[in-house]
Chains A and B, each alone.
Chain A
Amino acid sequence: MADLKVDVTNLKKNYGSNQVLKGIDFKVANNEVVVLIGPSGSGKSTLLRCLNKLEEPTSGSIVIDGHDISDPKTNIDKARENIGMVFQHFNLFNNLSVGENIMLAPVELGKANKDEAMTTAKQLLETVGLADKFDAMPASLSGGQKQRVAIARALAMNPDIMLFDEPTSALDPEMVGDVLEVMKDLAKDGMTMVVVTHEMGFAKEVADRVVFMAEGHVVEEGRPEAIFEDPQNERTKAFLEKVINI
């Protein structure tokens, strides 16, 4: 099982009487890029947020990198150091500059001293094409720039796996490409990624596997060609028709 980065078994999540995840089995192998698609309210974001325990699962087990994070005894902060997350609304720390945003966690958590963290931060900013923004404040950046900084911030902790929660949904169309480019590069470098997105083009091009969710279930999954060109399930077909015909 060493190659399994994510191993979710029979995961259920209730909000009061409303069951959002109804027994999910979900696995991600090392270096695999998995894209979660599905209509809104299908539970894909909830599933993603359970993977680093931003949502507390109601029942079921979640093993990430060999650590059972659904076990209350597991140190979740330690586990999260290896799980990068990128949010729909970027969530850059508004009180800190771009450089400080990236350096904060590695320095605070003793992963690097200030100089090392600064070197890493500058390198990462260069990879995402924002080398000149080190001292800028988040408020002065465009959405696309913010999201690329957010990716750099997550990468600064040198995670084994990256979670993306609709990373391009809040962006103006012309910004989407830049962010997707950065994500494609990451995938090429072998990063294990779980991506919730509505960018079907990205899914087709980059994903090793596409998972279609609806109403709290995994309805269908497989190679992107299989899902997009030959969906088996009626609901998958209906969903893809709507999305692709826009």
Chain B
Amino acid sequence: MKKFIAMLSAVFGLFMLGVFSQPQIQAASEKTYTIDTDVTFPPFVYANTENKYVGIDLDLLRAIAKEEGFKVKIRPVGFNAAVQSVSAGQADGMIAGMSITEERKQKFDFSDPYYSAGIVMAVKDGSGIKSLSELKGKKVAVKTGTAGADYANSIKDKYGFEIVTFDDSDGVYNDVINGNSAACFEDSAVMYYAIKNGLDLKVVTKPANTTETGFAVKKGQNQELLKMFNEGLAKLKANGEYDKIIKKYTEGKATSKTKVKSQTETAEDRTVLGILKENKDAFISGIIETLKLTVVGIFCATIFGIFVGLLGVVPNKFCRGLSTTIIYIFRGLPLIVLALFIYNGVPSLIGSKVPAFLAGVITLMLNEGAYTAAFVKGGIESVDKGQMEAARSLGMPFGKSMRRVILPQGIKIMVPSFINQFIITLKDTSILSVIGLLELTQTGKIIIARNLEGFRVWAIVAVIYLVIITVLTLLSKWIERRINN
């Protein structure tokens, strides 16, 4: 039995070594900074029709970087994930139409403001609501963590409305369009940009609580980057580049020519086929990322799960306790909490970055692995005890008995659970969009942020998932038949 444990440990050790000892590639002549952003936030940051990340923020950032001679690596992780990555040191800075607030100043150092905007209230065209006082007893949609949300919170008691929060702007707008919420609060620039692009909402208030928008780094960190940003911004303002960029994104609507053009473009693109064609590359790279996560995740989770499951049946109290504890913890934790913990929590503990893909794979390995371990353990335990007794009574050691007698019978019992777990793993990769992995779900979010076609894009994403799941199921059934023969 000791041999058996030693063998398992060796296999697992080698495996972990493989996972964690990825070579750190670090070669930079010009310093590269990792900047996190939220690409569902036009006009500050969004993906254009060529799926390039553009907007006021990124155009400014790139111009500044060019001016000051540094490089940036943009990661479209989403606003909350960006806030957490910068706090955890996973990213050097963030730029995402971020309002400068006293609360945020506790954790971040901000650049000089590069834009100032106010919060406006928007309602469904024709809803008849014209002022804040008409919101009493109604629902109001906001995007979490935005200045719009803060503003809504500050006045909700006064006006007696209820707040509904969403993770992305599309969710906010749709809630208003669908009539679930009576209004939404959003940054004026964001709101005007969205309406300009065909969103069926109407701004009914003047900008309130004007706030300044800034580039942020973790408090006390990356001061040289902050200095360069400020210097670069000053230069851009002096040479007129700054005004050009701002106008490009907020005043384009003034000319009727561009409006007409954008409308005809829009009409062509709004069919499912049009959306697919236009975003082909984005969908393909999203599918590839999802598949990569799924395959590597399933592989790691299966090995980890089998290891922990077997640990749960060896005749050693410590091993069994360890197995039960691992299953208890990682099956008990919601996947999203585990992902955020590994990606944003662990780096501040160990003092080095965890790449998002690795964090995603570890999350899947631990969570899906815990479920796998539970049914591996259950499968083995469901093999009649007499089988093990008979094998042991012949003088066969525990490991041999396990391998030749118990496992072949247990695996047959486990096969349907494995297939089920593979499918769950595939679906769970979508949750990893919270740590900014550009998989299929995150891809969908980004595309919707630009074209606001929630229904069609999510339908496309759903169908893609179903297709992948069908292929995965067929593959698993084929393996199942092979095992049973």
Contact = CB atoms under 8 A, between A and B. Distances in A.
B394 A94 contact: no
A91 B394 contact: no
B272 interface: no
Interface size class of A (residues with CB under 8 A): 20 to 34
Interface stretch (A14-22, A77-85, A115-123): A77-85
Given A54-B389, A104-B396, A109-B396, 18 more contacts: A52-B393, A77-B395, A84-B394, A85-B390, A85-B393, A87-B386, A87-B389, A87-B390, A91-B386, A91-B389, A92-B390, A93-B404, A95-B405, A95-B409, A104-B391, A105-B396, A109-B395, A154-B393
Nearest to A78: B395
Interface string A68-82: 000000000111111
A129 to B, nearest CB: 21
B387 interface: yes
With most chain B CB atoms within 10 A of its CB, the pick from A90, A95, A157 is A95
B392 A105 contact: no
Nearest to B389: A54
Interface in A131-173: 150, 153-154, 157
A93 B395 contact: no
A108 interface: yes
Contacts of B393: 52, 54, 80, 83-85, 154
B274 interface: no
Contacts of A150: 390
A67 B408 CA distance: 33
Interface in A35-92: 52, 54, 77-85, 87, 89-92
A81 B394 contact: yes
Q: Interface SS of chain B: helix, strand, loop or mixed?
A: helix
A109 B392 CA distance: 12
A108 B392 contact: no
B389 A105 contact: no
The number of chain B residues touching the other chain, given as a range, is 10 to 19
A104 to B, nearest CB: 6
Contacts of B394: 80-81, 84, 104-105, 109, 153-154, 157
B395 A91 contact: no
Contacts of A94: 387, 409
Contact of A80 (B392, B400, B409): B392
A89 B390 CA distance: 10
B483 to A, nearest CB: 12
Nearest to B388: A91
B251 interface: no
Interface string B391-435: 111111100100011001100000000000000000000000000
A93 B387 contact: yes
B384 interface: yes
Contacts of B395: 77-82, 105, 109, 157
Interface string A90-116: 111111100000001100110000000
A128 to B, nearest CB: 17
In the A-B complex, the 9 residue pairs with the smallest Cβ-Cβ separation, listed nearest first, are A81-B395, A91-B390, A91-B386, A105-B394, A85-B393, A80-B395, A95-B408, A93-B405, A95-B409
Contact of B404 (A78, A83, A108): A108
23 contacts: A52-B393, A54-B393, A77-B397, A78-B395, A80-B395, A81-B394, A83-B393, A85-B390, A91-B389, A91-B390, A93-B404, A93-B405, A94-B387, A95-B405, A95-B409, A104-B391, A104-B396, A105-B391, A105-B396, A108-B396, A109-B396, A154-B394, A157-B394
